Chain A
Amino acid sequence: MNARGYSVNHPSVQERIEKKRQAALTGGGQLRIAAQHKRGKLTARERLELLLDPDSFVEYDMFVEHRCSDFGMEADHNKYPGDSVVTGQGRINGRLVYVFSQDFTVFGGSLSGAHAQKICKIMDQAMMVGAPVIGLNDSGGARIQEGVESLAGYADIFLRNVMSSGVVPQISLIMGPCAGGAVYSPALTDFTFMVKDTSYLFITGPDVVKSVTNEDVSQEELGGAKTHTTVSGVAHRAFENDVDALLNLRDFFNFLPLSNKDPAPVTECHDPRDRLVPGLDTVVPFESTKAYDMLDIVHGIVDEREFFEIMPNYAKNIVVGFARMNGRTVGIVGNQPKVASGCLDINSSVKGARFVRFCDAFNIPIITFVDVPGFLPGTAQEYGGIIRHGAKLLYAFAEATVPKITVITRKAYGGAYDVMSSKHLRGDVNYAWPSAEVAVMGAKGAVQIIFRGKENQAEAEAEYVEKFANPFPAAVRGFVDDIIQPSTTRKRICRDLEVLASKKQTNPWKKHANIPL
């Protein structure tokens, strides 16, 4: 008996706890769960079970209920313990992560004030302890019955997304609809992944689009996984289905440090650090106009050919993603000669810049493979603001203080040479392969300018090639540290990363920098 005169062991309280727990565990009820399964989707709890290590999930706020009393929402049958989101923390391969998983079976996963509050609680704690946040999004949008309280909830989450940015990694996995204001939370997180055929992201749905602009467009075309991973660049990768997505997310999580105060993770590695890669000696074709696949180089160099590519189908002229070198996570950036000659344009600059900044924020060394003929010319690019957007990549490489290793595999022409993690932007180790050509431009263009109107252009071109189409001009000035045999690249990078692990470099104090957005 306590002071208030009733026992906590009173059967009716125990029963109520049990009942509430059971209710929380079944969410919107068996019918809605069956409907969710029929759509090819898992429930919020099934998703967490699959994402987290067995028995590691610690749930918060299972008893939280919405507080809306309008439109009959106050009725008991409209109250669901936990409301429309499951939150808590757990482990992925033993490492701490905070999670929320929106429950589509409860009011279509709509965001109430209580729902937002639950998410904010785990985000706040994640920041304090320094652990990533993974959000599994499956929500119809705002809880309309709650009006501004729902909108306030979104803003509370947005603010935390922004405050956590660069402090702990934030990942969004879109597993159902995500529309209206709700889309800005994934947009603010570091990575947005989608599930093919069952997830959508858009500001306004097809019906509104039709009434405003008279465009006929399906949900899938407007905001499906294909659109966002190939056209808009909003999502970083798409997976086949819920199970595939969650298993891949577990794999992806292993690349990330827990917070900006933790080092990049190092896992056990079986791939010999000093492995020679003979195939690299012949990967770059003799003719400098011929394309090759930068992924052949990346796969050859990294541990076990394992490369988690980010945005593989968007701005394919640049390749970015995570891999490991001797077990240590690294960020890979590479121009892709196979697509648009590997030139830098608006989309590839922005794609590269955001990736470089993520790596820099979270202590992940950056390895850059350069084969870039320059920035893409043309009115489309100039009118689109290539100057502004190209500057982002330049900015990102320049401000980055993590270990930066650069390998010039072939062309490094013009301003694009400067941009691609050059020595001048504080590259720690810059290598050139024997096939490297560091110059202001290709021979033909250069000769037309230097020897304008003169005869013997062919002779002049040959002279230019002899002088500049090789790694020496950069090497004699110390702009590259060494000219290396391609097959030894892995061995050298592994060694350099070990040396650079203790690198300390700081930028001048500032409130924040002003990247050209």
Chain B
Amino acid sequence: MAAYRSAAGFQRVLHAVKHVCFSKQRCGVIICRYSTVYDPTEKTFDKILIANRGEIACRVIKTCKKMGIKTVAVHSDVDSSAVHVKMADEAVCVGPAPTNKSYLNMDAIMNAIKQTGAQAVHPGYGFLSENKQFAKRLAAEGVSFIGPDTHAIQAMGDKIESKLIAKAAKVNTIPGFDGVVKDAEEAVKIAGEIGYPVMIKASAGGGGKGMRIAWNDEETREGFRFSSQEAASSFGDDRLLIEKFIDNPRHIEIQVLADKHGNALWLNERECSIQRRNQKVVEEAPSTFLDPDTRRAMGEQAVSLAKAVKYSSAGTVEFLVDSKKNFYFLEMNTRLQVEHPITECITGLDLVQQMIRIAMGYKLQHKQSDIPINGWAIESRVYAEDPYKSFGLPSIGRLSQYQEPLDLRNVRVDSGIEEGSDISIYYDPMISKLVTYGKTREEALKKMEEALDNYVIRGVTHNIPLLREIIVHPRFVSGDISTKFLPEVYPDGFKGHMLTAGERRELLATAAALYVAAQLRSQKFLGDLRVSVVPAESRQWELCVELDKGVHMLGVSRSGNNYTVEIDGEKVEVSGEWNLASALLPLTINGKHRTLQCLLRTAAGEITLQYLGTSFKLRVLSKLAASLSKHMPEKVPEDTSSILRSPMPGSVVAVSVKPGDNVAEGQEICVIEAMKMQNSMTAAKAAKVKSVHCKAGDTVGEGDLLVELE
């Protein structure tokens, strides 16, 4: 932080560039008002096809609209009423739901291009974005690919070749990496030569998908098996890569921008160390860790690599940075990154616009000295997943209520869904990218807290509890992070927010206020003369509130919208403008502003509140009901150790047991694939298999019975 502030060069441009500000737009997507101008006289494409879906398709369409370019969306049949389809000027269905039949279906997409006369294709990220065949086919048809040319895609898409090129371009590379792997035993041999720990992943794969770490021979064999399977199913190419694994690294990447005339720029870094299972969760720009010299060194190496492969368009060079600020080239992503908005926020550039201009053959508008670091931006990836299971296992469902925190200033939400959208098993479970911006990191983080609290997502399980905890964790706030942040901070798994005594009181008081408001309203009948009037205002309420097996006696009194709640001798004042129908509860609790959400309120006194990101289950009962409840029988919960249920919706890839088999505790029973991720399901105890309720190829829902043990 201090290092960054002292960077006089950046300070200068900070004043030169307009503040990034935000404007509310239709379709639930907000885009920065970029410092770059959209010159209507500059000739550009008439029509662009976006070969993608979801938020990134919407993101690209936004910029096309600003540039006056017509857009064509492609979609699978289940996506026919998706937001990106509605936003585009034209839409073409390219096949059924599975991605290999629709969004990866090159023939159908080529047809769509012909049919609509699109002159260029923006591939977004994922899908065909780094597919050289696709780029080639486009070139053959004379259609521009908004991205680098096939040579660069090929060179950088191959993990081994890319490192050789990087080495030649004098980019720091990871020691000891080598080899394409034929079988498990060869994997073990290579791993032995490099020395443990090693990392195993698909050669053709981008990001963290398919990446596994092995600390011994056994894990190498297992890693080989999983990675090759995943590589085959995701990329149709089962080549693998094994290399030295750098312990405790940061993941910091440099955004580059290069034109077709040999010019290239580095647009500063993005800190992406907060990951789970090697997938990014929270990103920020700039990084708290880099000093100007390291930043410049990384930027210059990134640019020299881009130049070495005659790169054009936007690209990202990923580095691992160790605790001594040594950095090693990891890979280059030859596409627009998911987390590109934070770079846009601090530089004021519209990367999609730049990509389109570059594809048109224009020279870069900026010089390196024009690129500022203006303020701080944080991105939280909001996923439909359960953060309490391995920091996030996919969940599906219909967004029954959905409201983005767009009335807040300096908040940008990139999403491709709306209220009523389905999160299905076919695609990535990302709901949106929530970006907040501030003059300082502190400001951006505060804004992120507020944005997460004001984000209404109902109908699917989401990871806001985890995001909300990460951004306030002392280690994160101080910038002391690495890619191992989550497992180190939550060694026993994420358990949600741990309440302090004061917070607990706030939560109890809010539940009590809600209960009383609901009770009072249930006595209000309009125009009914037969109702005897209870003098409600003067009433004192004695309530018993349960929270995590703790029971509290509360005294509540109310005047207007102000509730005074007495808990264990302490008074808590709850007030605010809210009603029982509002999704958000903007409250003032003992003078502090808090936004809570009421997720559930039943006649039997159950109240579920989202507070500080985590949802808490409470039960509010009158004193009488509470005292009578002690006679109620305990319901015996199902013994789950002998039952294996699917933790998420997905499809069964393999079943490794049959009835009568003896399994050891922890032994793999079956493998479930969801959203392109394979999950090994293991036995919770040593037992004999009683019955198997699934077979390879089955589609299963969350909670479906897979296997029963004796």
Contact = CB atoms under 8 A, between A and B. Distances in A.
Nearest to A308: B603
Given A241-B633, A258-B530, A268 B420 contact: no
Nearest to A287: B77
A247 B633 contact: no
Nearest to B458: A305
Interface stretch (B36-44, B158-166, B517-525, B693-701): B517-525
B216 interface: no
A278 B420 contact: yes
A54 B625 CA distance: 11
A251 B603 contact: yes
A251 B519 CA distance: 10
Interface in A231-254: 239-244, 247-248, 250-252, 254
B522 A254 contact: yes
Interface string B590-625: 000000000000011100000000000000010011
Given A266-B525, A279-B420, A283-B420, A94 B532 contact: yes
Nearest to A252: B603
A53 interface: yes
A282 B603 contact: no
B80 interface: yes
Contact of A40 (B420, B579, B604, B632): B632
B527 interface: yes
B581 A271 contact: yes
B581 A266 contact: no
Nearest to B520: A268
A19 to B, nearest CB: 26
Interface string B386-426: 00000000000011111000000000000000111100000
A327 B635 CA distance: 36
A303 B582 CA distance: 11
Given A94-B534, A197-B633, A268-B526, A248 B603 contact: yes
B400 A242 contact: no
Contacts of B418: 278-279
Given A94-B531, A247-B604, A286 B80 contact: yes
B548 interface: no
Contact of A282 (B400, B420, B521, B631): B420
A49 B632 contact: no
Given A94-B523, A247-B605, A270-B582, A279 B400 contact: yes
Contacts of B629: 243
Nearest to B399: A279
Given A96-B530, A197-B633, A327-B526, A278 B603 contact: no
Given A46-B628, A93-B523, A254-B522, A265 B420 contact: no
Interface in B509-565: 521-528, 530-534
A50 interface: yes
Contact of A247 (B399, B401, B625): B625
Given A95-B530, A247-B605, A278-B418, A265 B525 contact: yes
B3 interface: no
Residue of B80, B398, B625, B631 with highest tally of chain A CB at under 10 A: B631
A304 B527 CA distance: 21
Nearest to A283: B420
Contact of B525 (A267, A278, A303): A267
Nearest to B517: A270
B631 A50 contact: no
A304 B633 contact: no
A286 B81 contact: yes
A171 to B, nearest CB: 15
A91 interface: yes
B580 interface: yes
Interface string B284-313: 000000000000000000000000000000
Contacts of A382: none
A93 B519 CA distance: 8
Given A50-B628, A243-B625, A247-B625, A93 B522 contact: yes
Nearest to B626: A243
Given A93-B523, A95-B531, A279-B400, A49 B624 contact: yes
Nearest to B531: A94
Given A40-B633, A247-B604, A267-B522, A286 B77 contact: yes
Contacts of A296: 398, 400
Residue of A40, A93, A197, A270 with highest tally of chain B CB at under 10 A: A93
A37 interface: yes
- Using C-beta atoms within 8 Å of the partner chain, give the interface range for chain A: 35 or more
A275 to B, nearest CB: 9
Contacts, number: 123
Interface string A167-199: 000000000000000000000000000000110
B622 to A, nearest CB: 8
A243 B530 CA distance: 27
Given A266-B526, A267-B522, A278 B419 contact: yes
B74 to A, nearest CB: 16
Nearest to A300: B400
A111 to B, nearest CB: 25
B419 A37 contact: no
Contacts of A254: 522
Interface in B73-87: 77, 80-81
A42 B625 CA distance: 11
A59 interface: no
A389 B651 CA distance: 41
B530 A37 contact: no
Interface string A281-300: 11100110000010010011
Contacts of B621: 243
A414 to B, nearest CB: 28
Contacts of A463: none
A279 B419 CA distance: 5
A243 B628 contact: yes
A262 interface: yes
B625 A40 contact: no
A351 interface: no
A173 B432 CA distance: 47
Contacts of A267: 521-522, 524-526
A279 B624 CA distance: 41
B580 A95 contact: no
Contact of A248 (B524, B534, B579, B604): B604
B330 to A, nearest CB: 40
Contacts of B398: 279, 283, 293, 296
B203 to A, nearest CB: 39
A250 B523 CA distance: 11
Contacts of A96: 530, 532
Contacts of B419: 277-279
Given A50-B624, A53-B534, A281 B420 contact: yes
B85 to A, nearest CB: 10
Contacts of B528: 95, 262, 265-266
B572 to A, nearest CB: 24
Contacts of B527: 266
B532 A91 contact: yes
A197 B635 CA distance: 10
Nearest to A250: B603
A41 interface: yes
A37 B627 CA distance: 12
A328 to B, nearest CB: 9
Given A95-B525, A304-B581, 12 more contacts: A40-B631, A93-B531, A197-B633, A243-B632, A258-B530, A262-B530, A278-B418, A279-B400, A279-B402, A281-B420, A283-B420, A296-B398
26 contacts: A40-B632, A50-B625, A93-B531, A95-B525, A95-B531, A95-B532, A96-B532, A239-B604, A242-B631, A243-B604, A244-B604, A248-B604, A254-B522, A262-B528, A262-B530, A267-B524, A268-B526, A269-B581, A270-B579, A270-B581, A272-B581, A279-B421, A280-B420, A286-B80, A293-B398, A304-B581
- CB-CB nearest 10 A-B residue pairs: A279-B420, A251-B603, A40-B633, A270-B581, A270-B579, A271-B581, A268-B524, A241-B632, A279-B419, A37-B631
